[in-house]
């Protein structure tokens, strides 16, 4: 193999992988939200679960992405472990579509696909869906062009004694499986690995029987993405990953035996094929199409394994629980330690594998609600501290304020990362809205902290609020908490709900104006001292600003609800 052939091989591999990534991204952007919603609302029906898992994976051409999404749902408690079993089984079937597509002889039309796709992407600017379709077509074209380049570059390897000797070792099932698993683990795409195996078979540099064992290994190697996704997740999420691994290991063991040991007979065009293993049957059914043989073997592997294990799905879930039982002891976070409770390594650093999935959005909402509840506690405690003139109440308020600031920083960093990698426009808008919500919650916390801080001034300077002013502060507390509580309601984001929150914010503005007038009257009557007037004026400003930030959050929640 000459240097030019090696360079052509690298270029072809680059085009193949990039084409696959383009196609997957285009499909995700065109229909990602529907797929995520469909998966999220799945029932416990095993057959429907398998069909949905297969359909979604066939569309996005990545069983890893589907499995990662399932791990995220299980981690958040939005899907049971038993439901996850059916989705994972279906995902393994759906991933076969790439091998079937690659097995088609598309070399002649590949440039036309690429040209049509690029044309749509370049010249149809206003129709976003057509642009996504263009991305899909361009990706397919680039993918097939890359395959042709790889096939041509690898043809000289047929005459290389060194390469033939190396590849002959793949006929050893264990070696072939390890090579397939290792290669797939590195590139984190079984679909791409299968396509490369097909290209090797087409170039006649690897025999079918050896290719089959490498193929089985790719199914094990693809589990690495889900394993990475499960790092830092719940016990149940780790079990979902284990089920994915067990499924493919069991399937590999069964089909390796079928290829090597167990005799199979089949009738092809009236001729009895004598015992010789599944490989003989596939070779007889498709005698002169190595890429189709690989695709068929991959399809039979995944459908066959699913049919065998489908009745045992609940037992697989039970076995995963036995292997990974609940932890009764272990490291515990210190009480009061600041941490993100919902957000984490949801997708093993691959949040863009399926855009901003439903699980990431749900976890963002949960983390923001947690942050809002802390701000709400501080609003209540801030007013209480002022009314009681008790400085001892300030320490927990200040600790929560630090926690709120921590959450705002961490959530903002997480969202900034997601915005940078998100390709779906609707999801990107929603995430941007959550960024604004986090900032507004942090500002509510700041104003609550300001309220609490006035307690020190009241005590240090012996400032007394009049009975009327205290009643007004009590009313401010009640109205503020009612406004913040509305943000935590189940129907948050609805049109009628937004009108109610806007009315609450207007009431806060009206009360602020009214109480300022009352303050002027007290000043004229000499009831209010200069220092008390300054402090009360600042308190009214914080009260009004809390209302403003509540309305800002409500408007962003309403936009997010409209986008769903």
Across 154-163, 205-214, 287-296, the highest mean pLDDT is recorded for 205-214
* Domain chopping of the chain, boundaries: 3-323, 358-563
Across 137-146, 329-338, 526-535, the highest mean pLDDT is recorded for 526-535
Q: What letters, b where the CB count within 10 A reaches 16 and e where it falls short, cover 347-371?
A: bbebbbbbbbbbbbbbbbbebbebb
Average pLDDT over residues 202-230: 77
288 band by pLDDT with thresholds 50, 70 and 90: low
**Residues 28, 31, 37, 39: is their CA dihedral positive or negative?**
negative
HSE toward the beta carbon, residue 284, CA cutoff 13 A: 18
- Degrees to nearest 5, angle at CA 469 with 468 and 473: 120
pLDDT above 90 as % of the chain: 22
Cα distance between the two ends of the chain: 54
330 band by pLDDT with thresholds 50, 70 and 90: very low
- Among 456, 350, 442, 429, smallest CA distance to 400 is for 442
Would you state the structure tokens that stand for residue 349, as one six-digit string?
Answer: 């650093």
**Contact present, 68 and 225 (Cβ < 8 Å):** yes
**CA-to-CA distance for 73 and 358, rounded, in angstroms?**
8
Q: Which helix (H) or strand (E) holds 271?
A: strand 271-273
66 band by pLDDT with thresholds 50, 70 and 90: confident
Q: Looking at residue 134, what is its pLDDT? A: 86
Q: What is the pLDDT of residues 489-533, one digit of tens each?
A: 877 878 889 999 999 999 999 999 999 999 888 888 888 788 888
Q: Looking at residue 114, what is its pLDDT? A: 84
- Asked whether the predicted pLDDT for residue 271 surpasses 90, the reply is no
Q: Looking at residue 39, what is its pLDDT? A: 56
**CA-to-CA distance for 203 and 197, rounded, in angstroms?**
10
**Pairing, β 266-268 against β 271-273:** antiparallel
**Could you give the C-alpha distances from 8 to 105, 113, 144, 554, in angstroms and in order?**
20, 21, 14, 56
**Could you give the C-alpha distances from 274 to 256, 271, 278, 281, in angstroms and in order?**
19, 9, 11, 9
**Residues 226, 229, 231, 235: is their CA dihedral positive or negative?**
negative
Q: What is the CATH number of domain 358-563?
A: 1.20.58.220
Average pLDDT over residues 166-194: 74
Across 269-278, 308-317, 399-408, 429-438, the highest mean pLDDT is recorded for 399-408
Q: Helix (H, G, I), strand (E, B), or coil: what is residue 273?
A: strand
Orientation angle between helical segments 235-260 and 313-323, nearest 10 degrees: 120
Q: Which residues pair with 562 in a beta bridge?
A: none
**Contact present, 441 and 368 (Cβ < 8 Å):** yes
**Could you give the C-alpha distances from 47 to 80, 286, 310, 410, in angstroms and in order?**
16, 30, 9, 40
């Amino acid at each position: 193999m000459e240097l030019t052939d090696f360079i052509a091989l690298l270029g072809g591999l680059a085009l193949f992988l990039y084409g696959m990534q383009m196609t997957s991204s285009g499909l995700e952007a065109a229909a990602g939200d529907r797929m995520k919603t469909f998966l999220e609302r799945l029932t416990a029906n095993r057959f429907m679960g398998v069909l949905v898992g297969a359909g979604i994976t066939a569309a996005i051409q990545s069983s890893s992405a589907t499995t990662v999404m399932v791990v995220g749902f299980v981690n958040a408690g939005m899907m049971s472990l038993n439901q996850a079993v059916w989705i994972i089984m279906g995902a393994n079937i759906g991933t076969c579509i790439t091998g079937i597509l690659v097995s088609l002889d598309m070399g002649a039309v590949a440039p036309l696909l690429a040209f049509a796709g690029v044309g749509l992407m370049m010249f149809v600017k206003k129709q976003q869906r057509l642009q996504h379709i263009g991305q899909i077509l361009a990706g397919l074209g680039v993918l097939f062009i890359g395959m042709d380049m790889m096939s041509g570059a690898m043809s000289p390897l047929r005459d290389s004694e060194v390469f033939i000797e190396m590849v002959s070792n793949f006929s050893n099932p264990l070696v072939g499986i390890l090579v397939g698993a290792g290669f797939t683990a590195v590139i984190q795409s079984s679909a791409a690995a299968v396509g490369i195996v097909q290209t090797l078979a087409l170039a006649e540099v690897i025999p079918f029987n050896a290719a089959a064992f490498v193929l089985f290994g790719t199914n094990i190697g693809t589990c690495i993405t889900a394993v990475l996704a499960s790092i830092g997740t719940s016990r149940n999420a780790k079990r979902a990953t284990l089920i994915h691994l067990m499924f493919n290991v069991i399937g590999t063991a069964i089909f390796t035996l079928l290829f090597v040991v167990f005799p199979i007979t089949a009738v092809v065009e009236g001729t009895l094929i004598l015992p010789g293993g599944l490989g003989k049957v596939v070779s007889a059914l498709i005698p002169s199409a190595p890429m189709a043989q690989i695709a068929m073997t991959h399809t039979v592997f995944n459908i066959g394994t699913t049919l065998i294990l489908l009745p045992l799905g609940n037992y697989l879930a039970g076995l995963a629980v036995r292997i990974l039982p609940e932890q009764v002891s272990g490291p515990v976070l210190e009480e009061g330690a600041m941490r993100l409770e919902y957000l984490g390594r949801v997708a093993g650093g691959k949040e863009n594998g399926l855009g901003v999935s439903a699980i990431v959005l749900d976890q963002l909402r949960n983390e923001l609600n947690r942050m809002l509840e802390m701000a709400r506690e501080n609003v209540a405690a801030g007013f209480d501290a002022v009314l009681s003139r008790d400085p001892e109440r300030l320490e927990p308020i200040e600790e929560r304020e630090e926690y709120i600031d921590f959450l705002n920083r961490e959530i903002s960093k997480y969202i900034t990362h997601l915005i940078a990698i998100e390709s779906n426009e609707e999801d990107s808008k929603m995430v941007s809205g959550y960024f604004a919500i986090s900032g507004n919650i942090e500002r509510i916390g700041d104003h609550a902290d300001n309220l609490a801080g006035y307690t020190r001034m009241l005590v240090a300077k012996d400032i007394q609020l009049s009975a009327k002013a205290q009643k007004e502060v009590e009313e401010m507390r009640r109205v503020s908490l009612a406004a913040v509580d509305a943000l935590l309601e189940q129907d948050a984001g609805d049109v009628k709900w937004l009108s109610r929150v806007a009315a609450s914010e207007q009431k806060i503005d009206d009360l602020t104006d009214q109480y300022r007038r009352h303050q002027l009257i007290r000043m004229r009557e000499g009831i209010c001292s200069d220092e008390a007037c300054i402090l009360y004026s600042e308190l009214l400003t914080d009260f009004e600003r809390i209302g403003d930030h509540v309305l800002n959050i409500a408007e962003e929640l309403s936009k997010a609800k409209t986008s769903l």
